[in-house]
Structure 1
Amino acid sequence: MSRHVIKYLPTDTGVSGWEATSERTFPVAALEHDITADWLIIGGGFAGLSAARRLSQSRPGDKIVVLDARELAKGPAGRNSGFMIDVPHNLSSGEYSVADEAATKDEIRQNRLAISFAADVAAEYGLSRETFDPAGKVNAAASERGMGLNDNYRKSLEKIGEEHRVLDAAQMREMTGSHYYRGGLYTPGAVMIQPADYIRGLARGISSKVIIHEHSPVLELSRKGRTWKAKTACGSVSAPKVILGVNGHIQSFGHFRGRLMHVFTYASMTSAFSQNEFGGDVTGVDRWALLPADPMGATVRKITKDGLSRIVVRTRFTYDPSLKVSEKRVAGIAAEQRRSFDARFPGLERLPMEYSWAGALCLSRNHVPAFGEVEEGLFSACCENGLGTVKSTLAGIMAADLATGVAGPELDKFKNQPEPTRLPPEPIAWLGINSVIRFQELRAGREG
């Protein structure tokens, strides 16, 4: 017999602008009875819902149940920047492309498999262009160092034959309306999503084949014989196979302890404004998406819907093994983001930030997922290494295939990875990781 008691739940701080502006079109239903199923998926984010959809395709006659501790899209899945990126994007490195050529090509192919899966979701369930936009993204440089990092990235993409386009300062200004940037590097394969709308659209699309219970945190997961039983406050689900799509929270279920880094990043979203409200083209075209040339810099996106626009700024990282951050910290970082925003758009000082929030990431030191069959009938699809939209989608697909015995070359490659390496003990890890993060943020300089 195996028994895991979950003593702590992750805390989501602040109100995500993505979730607040998302439209929900189906009711919330919590688990209120004891039920049985063929499959239980714990976690209703990118990993869990992707696994659910994959299972509904490969096992159409099976009963599939998803449990989520919160309301869909109010957790980490609705708190990211909304980039589905195909080319290398390693946040733990000082540059985006660091692997050898073969490994880089493998990563790109896997990322595109996840993006293709998401594109099928968008097409099948009728997601709008505002929700799923295959527009590509730009690595924006605001300093001489940033220009050098972009040039290194350009060379690495050129070496493996990846399409890209260099943008000069005038082109960046035309796109964004800002004089802040010196240049950019455009890659066409990224998709921009409204993450809360995407998650809710995916859940709505699979709802005829999958049972989803929200506000149903698992408090205990135990196995007797070949049956797993997940207990919530008001009910339970018993199933022979369970997939965990809970990212760093998997440590609360007894696995990968001391091997995962719990990192928070922070974002603010402006209130809505019309294109002519501030005069001229002060924010450029209707939609654009910028990653910083330095991974520790500021991610900036402009979105437009029904003639009204908003701008999202994401900056700062902190290592927090407690899986919670304070409202005070979010407010303090929001003030920093205000300064970052004003530096880029000096004509928008009167535009308020309407929402500010924190979002959890999970990283491993060796940049590998927490994946595989961790106990008999219990599968992990966790640790997205800072690219949750794509990596978690991929992990969910791969976990479903592994659990159903669907063989294939992509699964073989994905599961044939080392497990996450151990971290130093606390407080050494806290001191060391936060020191490295802060040094890298300071080094980013004008890119932040």
Structure 2
Amino acid sequence: MTRHVVSRLPCDTGTSGWEAIGERSFTLKPLEGDITADWLIIGAGFAGLSAARRLSSLRPADRIVILEAREVAKGPAGRNSGFMIDVPHNLSAGEYSVADETVTAAEIRQNRLAINFARNIAEEFGMSREVFDPSGKVNAAASARGMELNDKYARSLGRIGEAHTLLDAEQMREMTGSHYYRGGLHTPGAVMIQPARYIRTLAAGLQPKVCVHEHSPVLELSKAGRDWIAKSSRGSVTAPKVILGVNGHIESFGHFAGRLLHIFTYASMTKAFSKDEFGPGVSGNDRWALLPADPMGATVRKVTSEGRSRIVIRTRFTYDPALKVSEQRVAHIAAEQRKSFDGRFPEMAGLPMDYSWAGALCLSKNHVPAFGEIEDGLYSACCENGLGTVKSTLAGMMAADLATGSGCAELEQYRNQPEPSRLPPQPFAWLGVNSVIRFQELRAGREG
């Protein structure tokens, strides 16, 4: 009998502002007792909920159960910056420039497949523009190097026929209210989401067709005959097929060990403020979304609801193979983010930060997912390579197609990838990865 004792459970540090300001509309329902299902999905993030959505369409009569270790939207799915990006966005490359045109075209096609899947969800479940906003995104440049990176990215997008618009300093100031930026590059295909509200709305919309059990961590996963048995603290689920949507925690289930990079990034969200609190135009339009021209720089978003706005700033990356970071680390980086925010918005200097938090990413050295049937009846939809909203949505869709044998046209191409390549042994991996990250962050300079 195959038996996996789960070695680590999720540990999320700090309160995500997205989760804190987003309402919840369904009752918490931990697993109680022993149940059976046709399908078990472990993890209620973008991958797990997307897999459940796809399964409920492909197998409407089947019983689908999701086990979530914590609460929906309190984990990494509710801790990201909310960018659903269609064009190339490889964090590990040090810049966003397009690679091989055939590979790039396939990646864009897959990203847009996932975005369209999410768009259908948003339409069906009545998500407002505050939750799902097809506004595009801007790569903001604050330095000469940032301007050069944007120009290079624009040229590479032009070579493959992708729409884009270069913005000057005045256009950036009109958008953001800040004199900090020298220019920007707008691409129209991205969607901005409020990640916690998107995830919660999707989880609510799937019920009661899909049964979601929160505060139900899987402690052991074993195979008995044709069935898998997932044991939690107060019950178990028996099902012939299981989809793992646990991102980097796939290693905690005994798979892909020594092949995944566990990266944490950090964010802070300001206190809500009114349009006139700091004078007209100080923070620009009601909503805007900036990625840094240098991938290691600062991501900045402004959101507005009922006349009250907040700004989110995300900076810094760390490699933490233990899959957890300390409160002290979050507090230290929040102090750095305070300076970064004040530099961009000096008229708003001192505006309190209501929330600061860390969020986990999972990357592979060769930029491929941890995907496929990893044991008989056990499927992995993990390793989002730094773009969890889109890549995890896609992985969940593809895992459902693979597991049901009713794959879409993209499945064969998606599954025909190498497995994540091996990392150097510890402590060499830790020293090497963190050294590269720190060098790239220092090189980003004013972009951070």
TM-score category (smaller protein): over 0.9
**Aligned partner of 1:58: which letter?**
L
CA positional deviation for 1:128: 1.2
What does residue range 25-40 of structure 1 map to in structure 2 within 5 Å?
Answer: 25-40=25-40
Q: Give the aligned partner of residue 168 of structure 1.
A: 168
Partner Cα distance (2:207, 2:265) in 1:
31
Partner Cα distance (2:433, 2:10) in 1:
20
Partner Cα distance (1:280, 1:400) in 2:
49
What does residue range 209-220 of structure 1 map to in structure 2 within 5 Å?
Answer: 209-220=209-220
Report SS of the residue matched to 2:410: helix
**2:362 is the counterpart of 1:362:** yes
What does residue range 315-334 of structure 1 map to in structure 2 within 5 Å?
Answer: 315-334=315-334
Is the 2:131–2:193 Cα contact (8 Å) retained in structure 1?
Answer: yes
**2:132 is the counterpart of 1:148:** no
CA positional deviation for 1:10: 2.3
**Aligned partner of 1:24: which letter?**
R
Q: Give the aligned partner of residue 417 of structure 1.
A: 417
CA positional deviation for 1:98: 4.1
Q: Give the aligned partner of residue 8 of structure 2.
A: 8
CA shift digits 1:409-440 (9 cap, x unpaired): 20001000000000000000000000000000
Partner Cα distance (1:86, 1:64) in 2:
30
Q: Give the aligned partner of residue 113 of structure 1.
A: 113
CA positional deviation for 1:273: 0.2
Report SS of the residue matched to 1:290: strand
CA positional deviation for 1:229: 0.2
What does residue range 46-445 of structure 1 map to in structure 2 within 5 Å?
Answer: 46-445=46-445
CA positional deviation for 1:407: 2.9
Report SS of the residue matched to 2:311: strand
**Aligned partner of 1:140: which letter?**
A
Partner Cα distance (1:210, 1:33) in 2:
17
Is the 2:398–2:407 Cα contact (8 Å) retained in structure 1?
Answer: no
Partner Cα distance (1:346, 1:375) in 2:
55
CA positional deviation for 1:53: 0.4
Partner Cα distance (2:320, 2:175) in 1:
36
CA shift digits 1:4-34 (9 cap, x unpaired): 0013212100000000000001110000110
CA positional deviation for 1:208: 2.4
Report SS of the residue matched to 1:97: coil
Gaps of 5+ in 2: none
RMSD of aligned residue pairs (Cα, Å): 0.6
Partner Cα distance (1:280, 1:195) in 2:
29
Q: Give the aligned partner of residue 23 of structure 2.
A: 23
Partner Cα distance (1:165, 1:406) in 2:
39
Question: TM-score under structure 2 normalisation?
Answer: 0.99
**Aligned partner of 1:398: which letter?**
M
Partner Cα distance (1:376, 1:440) in 2:
41
Partner Cα distance (1:153, 1:373) in 2:
36
Identity of aligned residues (%): 76
CA shift digits 1:316-357 (9 cap, x unpaired): 000000000000000000000000000000001131011000
Partner Cα distance (1:7, 1:50) in 2:
25
Partner Cα distance (1:238, 1:93) in 2:
42
Partner Cα distance (1:9, 1:97) in 2:
36
**Aligned partner of 2:32: which letter?**
E
CA shift digits 1:183-213 (9 cap, x unpaired): 0000000000000000000011111210000
Gaps of 5+ in 1: none
Partner Cα distance (1:10, 1:201) in 2:
22
Report SS of the residue matched to 1:92: helix
Shift >4 Å, 4+ stretches: none
Partner Cα distance (2:350, 2:397) in 1:
45
Partner Cα distance (1:52, 1:95) in 2:
34
Total equivalences in the alignment? 448
